[in-house]
Amino acid sequence: MRLILSFFCWLAVTTAAWADPITVHIAYSKTGNAQATMRLILDGLEQRGWRFDERATANPQLSNETFNSASQPMLMLWGTDLVPNRAHPAYRPVPTAADLLTVTYVVPRYICAVSNISAEDYANRNRVLTVATTVVPADEQYLTTLNQHLGTRHKIIKYTNSRELEAAVAAREIDVVMTSVGLRLEQQGQVRCLYNTSQFRVGSTPLVTDQHPHMPTRNFAAITYLLVRGLDTATLTRLRQDTLAVQRDYAPYTIYLERNRNPATPLMPDRQVQLIKELYNNIP
């Protein structure tokens, strides 16, 4: 009897499984790098006994309202680029240390030359280049700020997402591209990266602020993160510990980030809120 009781006690202590699956709202669509990264984290957590029920709403307002009114434990994938309009009802303020579970994906933008253009050419006021970026307003805002800072008149062309930017690079219809997948394209020999817009040093690509130290926007990147609510303190502590362990040790996740040369892994929890706050300042 004692043995059986001991076994159940051991099971209760070691298993992290929540009785019911925790609902995870993804405010984005079903596909994309951010979603893939989050899925890898959830996979890692499931291997540690957690259970999740994923819902990809592709509707930030619905996810936001559901999350805010949830009476059951819930996670939500959100990002700094999702609703960059402070007046919109779905706009979410900067998360706090209490409701942030973890940053799942950090996406610096890389400004890369498609044709034979150097950083000096890019800064040359007499040259007008076509610069491609996504439709995310903050991306265009950043390029406009950079244009103004350099005094250039480059033409900004907008594409739906990084997938379309890759197609534009392949079609060679642009001179320069600002994209989150710049380093991968550089490895494939399709572009040459001139700048990294963030403060995360990745490889040898110079930061914009290295070359232009007075650039007003000093750290520009998009971040996706998981928010949490409705868990009791003990369970939340276990979830945080397990999440950290997954992000540190779960091979599919770490390999994915490494291959995408993504600087999410070194981020410690106390730095995460501060960083998100910093990036929210870039919202126009």
Partner 1 sequence: MMAEWLLLAAAPLIGIVIGLMPGLGALFVMLMLYPMLLHVTPWVVVVFYSMIIAARDFSGSVAALGFGMMGEVSAGPALRERAIIQRHNSTRQALMDTMWASQVGVVVSTVLMLAAVAAGATTAGLFRSDVQTVFMLGTVMFLLAWADQAWWKNAMLVAAGYLIGMVGYNMRTSTDFLTFGNTYLVGGIPVLPVILGLYAVPTMLRIANSTAPTTAAEITQQWTMPTSWPSMLRGSAIGAVCGLIPYVGCVITSNLAHWAEQWKNSNSSLDHSLKRLSAAEAANNAAHVTSLIPFIIMGLAIQPSELVLLEVLHTQGVRPQDLAGLVFMIAAGVAVSAAFAGWMCSSVVSSLLTWFKKYYWTIVVTLSVLLLANVAWLGWTSDQTVYYLAVFAISLAVGLLLPRQLDVLPLVLVLLLQNQLDIVLPRFYQFYLS
Interaction site with partner 1 (CB under 8 A): 25, 30-33, 36, 39-40, 43, 54-62, 65-66, 83-85, 88, 90, 130, 135-137, 155-160, 163-164, 166-168, 170-173, 188, 252, 255-256, 259-260
C-alpha dihedral over 64, 70, 76, 80, to 10 degrees?
Answer: 30
Q: Considering the complex, state which of residue 32 and residue 230 has its C-beta at the smaller distance from partner 1.
A: 32
Min dist CB 80 to partner 1, Å, is 13
Which positions ≥6 away from 84 have C-beta within 8 Å? 136, 137, 138, 283, 284
Min dist CB 36 to partner 1, Å, is 5
Q: Considering the complex, state which of residue 36 and residue 98 has its C-beta at the smaller distance from partner 1.
A: 36
Min dist CB 210 to partner 1, Å, is 29
Determine the Cα–Cα distance for residues 152 and 126; give it in Å rounded to an integer. Answer: 7
Min dist CB 31 to partner 1, Å, is 5
Q: Considering the complex, state which of residue 114 and residue 208 has its C-beta at the smaller distance from partner 1.
A: 114
Place of tokens 């990084």: 162
Which positions ≥6 away from 82 have C-beta within 8 Å? 27, 28, 60, 90
What does each C-alpha distance from 138 to 55, 119, 183, 219, 253 come to in angstroms?
26, 22, 20, 12, 27
Min dist CB 199 to partner 1, Å, is 25
Q: Considering the complex, state which of residue 88 and residue 248 has its C-beta at the smaller distance from partner 1.
A: 88
Q: Considering the complex, state which of residue 133 and residue 209 has its C-beta at the smaller distance from partner 1.
A: 133
Does residue 177 sit in helix, strand or coil?
strand
> Going by DSSP bridges, is the β-strand pair 52-56/22-26 parallel, antiparallel, or unpaired?
parallel
Question: What is the DSSP code string of 127-147?
Answer: ---EEEEES-HHHHHHHHHHH
| Edge-to-edge strand ranges of the sheet holding 221-229 | 52-56, 22-26, 74-79, 221-229, 100-108
Determine the Cα–Cα distance for residues 117 and 130; give it in Å rounded to an integer. Answer: 12
Q: Considering the complex, state which of residue 185 and residue 273 has its C-beta at the smaller distance from partner 1.
A: 185
Min dist CB 129 to partner 1, Å, is 13
Min dist CB 227 to partner 1, Å, is 16
Determine the Cα–Cα distance for residues 43 and 41; give it in Å rounded to an integer. Answer: 5
Determine the Cα–Cα distance for residues 272 and 133; give it in Å rounded to an integer. Answer: 26
Q: Considering the complex, state which of residue 129 and residue 207 has its C-beta at the smaller distance from partner 1.
A: 129
